[in-house]
Amino acid sequence: MRNRTALGYQLPAADITPRAQYLRRREWLQGAAGAALAPWLIDPALAQTAGPGKRPALPAVRSALVGAATMDKPTPYEDATTYNNFYEFGTDKSDPARNAGSLKTRPWTVAIEGEVRKPQTLDFDALARIAPMEERIYRLRCVEGWSMVIPWIGWSLAELIRRVEPTGNAKFVQFVTLADRAQMPGLRQPILNWPYTEALRLDEAMHPLTMLAFGMYGETLPNQNGAPLRLVVPWKYGFKSGKSLVKIRFVEKQPKTSWEESAPEEYGFYANVNPRVDHPRWSQATERRIGEGNILLTKRRETLMFNGYESQVGQLYAGMDLKRFF
Ligand SMILES: Nc1nc2c(c(=O)[nH]1)N[C@H]1C(S)=C(S)[C@@H](COP(=O)(O)O)O[C@H]1N2
Ligand SMILES: [Mo]
């Protein structure tokens, strides 16, 4: 039984979905439980955020991952799906909700390449099934100074990484977003070097908090939030969490990311949320929580070190000068 990760973090036994619960959920997914009681009446661990019913439901169990669920109230769905950064669909916050309807999310494949013993191209549905779906309520802090609280649905990226068996040369993991001009009007603007590419150190990618998300608010992901699957790295600025991924590549050398290529002095490789390291053009000490009311009247919140996940991830950066490796 896994109760201690390679990184030395204690996970409660409840982190692992009991097999009976998992099988019951599978039944539910297959529709066999259609006439029976709702699963969250059978087992409170199955209770998850109820979706607004706009998209297909994506059943999951509430994750017991230590510290992952915050006490913060989730951002209203309406705000989380109309105030977005997804430059492939335009740079205004309202553009992705308006334009991402043109994104075709099926069929969809994800290629796993590079320094792995088992390179493969996975069909979306096969990929989504490799681990049980969990709901995790994470804070998302954008480098621009706003934040949200989102109940994601997915599983730890480590589940996939273990299955593809990285070689000894794999030191970094690169995440590549779809870049299709026919579907993404924003690609006509040379804002970034498309495709949108992000990367993590292998140990960051393996950290149990790092998540591949397939849904949010009890339902599949809306296109503007990165359908059909995206990365979520809750202790880093939002731009590290690439949307609509088509490629995950394992490499030896630290790759340049799209944001580093466009403005290296503003967007570092690490991009850990850090209230003590300001962006060259603004302070990172506070943030505005989207959906909390009037922009001018609502008090800004203090930004937390590593976005509040310091006890879980601080060790990854022991001894590093976080002003230099920002
Ligand atoms: N492919 C792609 N992924 C992306 C972005 C983008 O423009 N393109 N924007 C990033 C930024 S800056 C943030 S803050 C988050 C926003 O996620 P949300 O719109 O779901 O809140 O997505 C990130 N992932
Ligand atoms: Mo962002």
Summarised one tens digit per residue, pLDDT across range 173-231 is 999 999 999 999 999 999 999 999 999 999 999 999 999 999 999 999 999 999 999 99
Alpha helix stretches (DSSP H) within the chain: 19-29, 39-42, 77-80, 95-99, 124-128, 157-164, 202-206, 258-262, 310-313
Q: How many Cβ atoms sit within 10 Å of the Cβ of residue 130?
A: 13
The confidence score (pLDDT) of residue 298 equals 86
Whole-angstrom distance, CA of residue 127 vs CA of residue 29? 16
Ligand nearest the Cα of residue 241 is 1
241 lines ligand 1 (CB under 6 A): yes
Residue identifier of the C-alpha nearest atom 8 of ligand 1? 86
In this model, does residue 308 exceed pLDDT 80?
yes
Q: In CATH, which of 3.60.21.10, 3.40.50.620, 3.90.420.10, 3.40.718.10 is domain 3-317? A: 3.90.420.10
Tokens of 311: 């006890």
Q: Which of 241, 247, 273, 289 to mutate to test the pocket of ligand 1 (most atoms within 8 A of CB)?
A: 241
Query: 211 forms bridges with which residues in the sheet?
Result: 156, 232
**What is the 234 CA–ligand 1 centroid distance (Å)?**
13
pLDDT tens, residue by residue, 209-220: 999 999 999 999
| Closest-CA residue to 231 (of 161, 144, 311) | 161
Whole-angstrom distance, CA of residue 313 vs CA of residue 316? 6
Ligand nearest the Cα of residue 233 is 1
In this model, does residue 292 exceed pLDDT 50?
yes
Residue identifier of the C-alpha nearest atom 4 of ligand 1? 242
Whole-angstrom distance, CA of residue 305 vs CA of residue 292? 21
Measured between alpha carbons, how far is residue 76 from residues 17, 81, 173, 200, 290 in Å? 28, 9, 32, 29, 9
Tokens of 247: 């490629």
In this model, does residue 150 exceed pLDDT 90?
yes
Q: Is the C-alpha dihedral spanning 26, 27, 31, 33 positive or negative? A: negative
Does the N-terminal peptide bond of residue 12 adopt cis geometry, omega within 30 degrees of 0?
no
196 lines ligand 1 (CB under 6 A): yes
**162 or 6, greater pLDDT:** 162
pTM: 0.88
**What is the 232 CA–ligand 1 centroid distance (Å)?**
10
pLDDT band at 28 (very low <50, low <70, confident <90, very high): very low
Q: What is the mean pLDDT of residues 248-257?
A: 98
Pairing of strands 230-232, 219-220: unpaired
267 lines ligand 1 (CB under 6 A): no
87 lines ligand 1 (CB under 6 A): yes
Query: 150 forms bridges with which residues in the sheet?
Result: 138
